């Protein structure tokens, strides 16, 4: 399985159950059960295939292999792998959802925090806004990438031009 790439990371094993607020300044791999909140500002969180998380998450990158019930605020990227079962809203700059992953909630693509050049801003303003409401159902494929103004919540797709 994928473990955090930094030299410093914490590992919560399959038999560990945590209830309450979990915070830290290193990457975290959760293969156990966490209920409450997880705050890893500037660090990565991986929910392993045996992981069961019922928490609101704040992290730099969130990768989900297991089960998640709660909202995710990822400053860079959120990934739902094929074995993921996630319910809750995602607030992130980039999102990837593999075929077979289950997701129910809203996706809010955040704008990049760094100011863009006027040419890039002008190009972004001319793109149509996409609102999608179903991310992935087992047996189907959905993959979304960064795009300002894209959001998702239940089961239809609407494309509007500004």
Q: Tens digits of per-residue pLDDT, 8-51? A: 689 999 999 999 999 999 999 999 999 999 999 899 999 999 99
Domain residue spans in the chain?
9-160
Predicted local distance difference test score (pLDDT) of residue 9? 80
| Pairing mode, strands 85-87 and 94-97 | unpaired
Q: In terms of C-beta density within 10 A (0-12 exposed, 13-18 middle, 19 or more buried), how is residue 146 classed? A: middle
7 Cβ contact list (under 8 Å, min separation 6):
none
């Amino acid at each position: 399985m994928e473990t955090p790439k930094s030299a410093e990371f914490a590992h919560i094993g399959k038999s560990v159950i945590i209830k309450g607020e979990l915070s830290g300044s290193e990457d975290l791999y959760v293969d156990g059960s966490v209920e409450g909140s997880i705050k890893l500002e500037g660090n990565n969180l991986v929910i392993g295939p045996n992981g069961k998380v019922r928490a609101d998450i704040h992290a730099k990158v969130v990768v989900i292999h297991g089960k998640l019930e709660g909202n995710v605020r990822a400053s860079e990227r959120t990934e739902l792998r094929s074995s993921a079962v996630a319910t809750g809203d995602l607030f992130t700059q980039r999102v990837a959802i593999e075929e077979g992953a289950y997701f129910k909630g809203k996706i809010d693509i955040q704008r990049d925090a760094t100011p863009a050049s006027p040419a890039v801003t002008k190009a972004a303003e001319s793109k149509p806004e996409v609102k999608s409401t179903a991310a992935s159902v087992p047996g189907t494929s959905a993959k979304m990438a960064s795009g300002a103004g894209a959001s998702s919540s239940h089961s239809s797709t609407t494309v509007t031009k500004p």
